[in-house]
Amino acid sequence: MTAGTAAGSRRAVRRAAVLALLALAALVAAATAWVLWRNFAGEPALERAAEPASPGAGPGAAATPPPADAATLARGEYLARAGNCLGCHTRRGGAPGAGGRPIATPFGTVYSANLTPDRDTGLGRWSASEFRRALQHGRSRDGHLLAPAFPYPNFTRVTRADADALYAWLMSRPAVRQQNRPHELRFPYRLQAALAVWRALFFRAEPFVPDPARSEAWNRGSYLVNGLAHCMACHASRNFLGAPAEATEPGGNIVSTQQWYAPSLADAHEAGVGDWPLEDVVALLKTGTSPRGTVMGPMAEVVARSTQHLAEADLRAMAEYLRTLQGPSAAPAAASAASTAAERPPRPPPVLAMLARGRRIYGDHCVDCHGERGEGTPGTAALAGSRAVLLATPRNVIQAIRHGGFAPTTAGNPRPFGMPPFGLVLGDDDIAAVASYVRTSWGNDAPVVEAIDVWRAK
């Protein structure tokens, strides 16, 4: 090869490298522009001119909202109940709404913010339009992106009138000075750039649009379930980056803080209510119990703090909407359980020994309330044929055995029966054995539970 040829080859390589770098830079610039566009698309400008600060208050002072009348404040308080705002924004033993409650996620721990009108640590300096932007678009007063553990992907559907009424009520409450605790998220999830990419991929600011083909009640129910009450924040399945599926897709989600499984509301074999009478759905939301089931775990808190306080018309609207959710089932039909059991090969001796152990434990601790054949007794749930028992994941059975199962105390059920916790008297192997016995007896045909399953549910 001559010197000229070699020099030409080097120049060609350099040109190719430069072109590749330019193409990569253009690709990065285009991706960055797309992420920025997606993060600001549909976000309204703040209405600072319409919400002046107090005269002489100086820069950064609290906005002075117009005086709210009693009806607006009552509406805001009701909406806060519907959204269970104080449930998340109150730490154990803390002042209501002052934040600090830890919320575990697969990416780390998020701490709820102070929603009281304190000027330095709460909402005291926020305007109504800044509050709406946070609620509907997930962007804080200073412009930083909020972690989607705050369910703005649901609250984006909240109307301006409802957001303003909620703001007025929050600003009318006593101010509590309590610093917001920083989130403890792992790298890279704590980075604003990572949040921006997540939002570009999975978040769309979409105001609620009624379906003209549906009734007014159905649309109201859809607004509450998918928006303000944010039911799908727990009951929708999520991908590995935490993005929720559509309401009608099968699969629920693990509520990370308490490690219970929130079953799918679109699956008849999980928590779907398509075949329930409307009155039974209303009763469950209002009292925590109905002829078709009883809530416990995190849902008991939701009923106690939120849904029992909703108006009858709203409960009926939610029930009407929930009864129409029907996606493809993620579980086999119950009618096929007997044929499945008949086709299953004989269980190996270790499994039979575990089931025998579970039967003994059931006789010692469970039979008095749940019956010899899992039929239940007045006030106590039947286990035979129970959807909660037959879920593909045994997590809720495990948690009920370990931590107990308690229905909420409500006006319609002021003295609910409760199941005591057995976590201090039963080890992981014992819990696995009795859970397996319950899931495979009296016609039940769910997979057995291993001790590792019990450990993973801690």
What does the pLDDT look like over 270-302, one tens digit per residue? 999 999 999 999 999 999 999 998 999 999 999
Task: Round the average pLDDT of the chain to a whole number and report it.
Answer: 87
pLDDT category of residue 22 using cuts at 50, 70 and 90: low
Mean pLDDT within 71-86:
97
pLDDT at 35 over 60: no
Give how far Cα 333 sits from Cα of 228, 242, 391, Å.
Answer: 33, 29, 12
pLDDT at 429 over 50: yes
What ranges make up the beta strands (E) of 304-407?
405-406
Strand partners, 53: 63
The rounded percent of the chain whose pLDDT value lies above 90 is 72
Delimit the CATH 1.10.760.10 region(s) of the chain: 334-456
* For residue 188, cis peptide bond before it (omega within 30 degrees of 0): yes
Mean pLDDT within 158-164:
97
Query: Per-residue pLDDT tens for 322-378?
Result: 999 986 555 544 444 444 555 677 888 889 999 999 999 999 999 999 999 999 988
H-type helices in 203-322, by residue range? 216-223, 232-235, 278-287, 298-305, 312-322
Helix and strand totals (H; E) in the chain: 19, 9
| Residue recorded with tokens 């709406």 | 132
Largest interatomic CA distance in the chain: 98
pTM score of the predicted model: 0.86
Taking Cα atoms as reference points, which of 302, 306, 319 lies closest to residue 407? 302
Topology (CATH) of 216-322: Cytochrome Bc1 Complex; Chain D, domain 2 (1.10.760)
From the options 1.10.760.10, 3.40.50.300, 1.10.287.1260, 1.10.510.10, give the CATH code of 334-456. 1.10.760.10
Specify the DSSP element, H or E, that contains 73.
helix 70-82
